[in-house]
Amino acid sequence: MEKVVSLCKRRGFVFPGSEIYGGLAGTWDYGPTGSLLKKNLKDWWWKDIVQLRDDIVGLDAAIFMNPKAWEASGHTEAFTDPLVECKSCHQRFRADKPAEITSHEKSHPGQKIEWTEPKTFNLLVKAYLGVVEGQKSEVFLRGEITNGVQVNFKNVVDSTRVRIPFGVAQIGKAFRNEITPGNFTFRSREFEQMEVQFYIRPEEAEGMKWFEYWKQNRMDWYVSLGIRKENLRFHDHAENERAHYARAATDIEYQAPWGWDEFMGIHHRGDWDLRRHQEFSKADMQYRDPDTGEAYTPWDIETSAGVDRSLLFVLIDAYSEENGRVLLKLHPRLAPYKVAVFPLLANKPNLVEKARGIYQELKKDFSVAWDDRGNIGKRYYAQDEIGTPYCITVDFETLEKQDVTVRDRDTAKQERVPIAGLASYLDQKING
């Protein structure tokens, strides 16, 4: 884990938030490579979920919402974690995370630790809107992104041609006053989520069919990202583990360096959200079947994944060391740079000029890195560390034969490829 954290800092994936001021717990900044990786992950998700499907549309709701929306969804009352305090050092922890409690007790060797009784602690982050001091209204930074979709259910139905069953997809920031942010980006106070709310007929068999469908669909997606199957598993929630409104819930878990932990959740939310928003807002949140005229409140199967958590697990899973060198075996679609271009020698203007031409041309279609420092071996290692799957070297033969050497990150094998066919060669390798 320390090695991944240090690689992330060293190679520009993730930096501690506001580091020069001593940081701010639970915040992280994505650097030049990390922001590309994050964008690639989100783009892949969006393509898979929205672009390639006929039954899901997208949405991008505001972070601020009328506070009544949070009352309706139960967040002002029940978006809580049980908080306990170590009576010895006054550090606070979540009572529902026994491993964290035990680990903290070990930090006071030889002492019998006493804990306060668990108190419920609301995770919503407050903010104040308005320009007149004393008349500002209290709002919340959204604790999860679901609510913006739920309140727009009618707008989506009325403005598109969706028919049940259909889904609404969204990617966006969420904020939680986490009691114990930690394990690098795993639990942060500001993070991003990618979610689908999938609306179905309110029938038991339909509910279980789509719940099982989304469980498998999401598991398959994580495997397609290149995460090893043996590091993924389902954790079905028993009734006492589930949110009070959930009819069924499963987590996909990852075998993290600190043990199996939650990657994402699939939740059968029933009609909880639409029913509550109808009650609180008095707006009609029912769906009317355009063929039969039948009206009902649909059920919702939600898939909710953290972008940052997904990235962290992708990075941990891709990290490897071979013969003393670090290799980030990222799926080519996720890699920040798809290809790097090198002139064999930086002091030969004809090689540099030729390589620059190839670099500029490939940039039109791919994210491309340029490197002319040090020797070729060092350049390969530098690209391996950030997961660049292909490296192109322009040498003297290139000038004669109009072809280049392409070296594969994982096999270290090299082959000659004509310059004219490079873009389609790479496209085939990256996108299949």
Residue with tokens 């039948």: 294
Nearer of residues 247 and 338 to ligand ATP, judged by Cβ: 247
Binding segment for ligand ATP (CB under 6 A), chosen from 40-48, 184-192, 327-335, 371-379, is: 184-192
Nearer of residues 188 and 388 to ligand ATP, judged by Cβ: 188
Nearer of residues 162 and 264 to ligand ATP, judged by Cβ: 264
Size of the site for ligand ATP (CB under 6 A): 15
Cβ 179 vs Cβ 93: under 8 Å = yes
Q: Shortest CA distance to 301 belongs to which of 159, 194, 195?
A: 195
Closest separation in Å from C-beta 176 to ligand ATP? 5
176, 247, 331, 354: residue in contact with ligand ATP (rule CB under 6 A): 176
Nearer of residues 15 and 366 to ligand ATP, judged by Cβ: 15
Closest separation in Å from C-beta 385 to ligand ATP? 25
- Say which amino acid occupies 220: D
Q: Shortest CA distance to 327 belongs to which of 382, 254, 406?
A: 382
Cβ 1 vs Cβ 15: under 8 Å = no
Rounded Cα distance between 11 and 396, Å, is 31
Residue number, nearest CB to ligand ATP: 306
Positive or negative, the Cα torsion across 392, 395, 401, 407?
negative
Closest separation in Å from C-beta 394 to ligand ATP? 43
What angle, rounded to 10 degrees, do the helices at 349-363 and 422-431 form?
50
What SS3 class is residue 164?
Answer: coil
43, 85, 105, 262: residue in contact with ligand ATP (rule CB under 6 A): 262
252 Cβ contact list (under 8 Å, min separation 6): 215, 218, 219, 222, 232, 233, 234, 235, 262, 263, 264, 265, 266
165, 207, 298, 306: residue in contact with ligand ATP (rule CB under 6 A): 306
The reply on whether position 187 binds ligand ATP by CB under 6 A is yes
Half-sphere exposure of 108 (CA within 13 A, CB side): 15
The reply on whether position 191 binds ligand ATP by CB under 6 A is yes
Closest separation in Å from C-beta 221 to ligand ATP? 14
Cβ 131 vs Cβ 218: under 8 Å = no
Nearer of residues 188 and 405 to ligand ATP, judged by Cβ: 188
Give the x/- contact pattern for ligand ATP in 309-328, rule: CB under 6 A.
x-------------------
Nearer of residues 178 and 395 to ligand ATP, judged by Cβ: 178
Cross-strand bridge partners of residue 260: 255
- What the block records as the tokens of 141 is 């930074």
Q: What are phi and psi of 161, to 5 degrees?
A: -105, 25
The reply on whether position 265 binds ligand ATP by CB under 6 A is yes
Q: Which helix (H) or strand (E) holds 30?
A: strand 28-30
The reply on whether position 178 binds ligand ATP by CB under 6 A is yes
Nearer of residues 276 and 409 to ligand ATP, judged by Cβ: 276
DSSP label at residue 66: -
| Region 193-252 residues binding ligand ATP, contact defined as CB under 6 A | 193
Binding segment for ligand ATP (CB under 6 A), chosen from 156-164, 200-208, 301-309, 327-335, is: 301-309
Positive or negative, the Cα torsion across 380, 382, 387, 390?
negative
| Region 128-147 residues binding ligand ATP, contact defined as CB under 6 A | 144
Rounded Cα distance between 379 and 32, Å, is 18
Q: What are phi and psi of 120, to 5 degrees?
A: -80, 135
Nearer of residues 40 and 188 to ligand ATP, judged by Cβ: 188
Closest separation in Å from C-beta 383 to ligand ATP? 29
The reply on whether position 172 binds ligand ATP by CB under 6 A is no
The reply on whether position 308 binds ligand ATP by CB under 6 A is yes
Nearer of residues 178 and 317 to ligand ATP, judged by Cβ: 178
Report the interface residues with ligand ATP, using CB under 6 A.
Answer: 144, 176, 178, 187-188, 191, 193, 262, 264-265, 304-306, 308-309
